[in-house]
Amino acid sequence: MSASDPARDNAGRNDPFGWIDETARRIEEASRTLTESGEAARVSDEAVAQLMTAAIRLYAAKSDGEERTFRPLTGQGDVVTPTEALTAVSEVLRALHLGPMELALWYRRRPDEE
């Protein structure tokens, strides 16, 4: 959705899921504060797993269902380090009993690229 999308404008009033946008922003800010202060341990493993599961599920549903991709990270530049990104990707693959070969088979050009 774009910022001018009517569904987004009604967030919180008519949409029972309108709270997600604001909560996501607050979670992203809190994660930055926690990691920068070395206090990531204050968030349970289960909570992080729930957030990762939800984010992956929503990203896949939006990109496949809308036949487009969008930048999966907030902001500009290096908002996460390559090490952070590859650590997460590696563990997601491992959790699903997949390896780099399966990733290579599924890797594709973005639908919006020429």
24 versus 75: the higher-pLDDT residue is 24
* Cβ within 8 Å of residue 31, ≥6 positions away: 40, 43
Q: Which helix (H) or strand (E) element contains residue 53?
A: helix 45-65
Q: What is the pTM of this model?
A: 0.76
pLDDT recorded at residue 2: 47
Q: Is the predicted pLDDT of residue 102 greater than 80, yes or no?
A: yes
pLDDT recorded at residue 106: 79
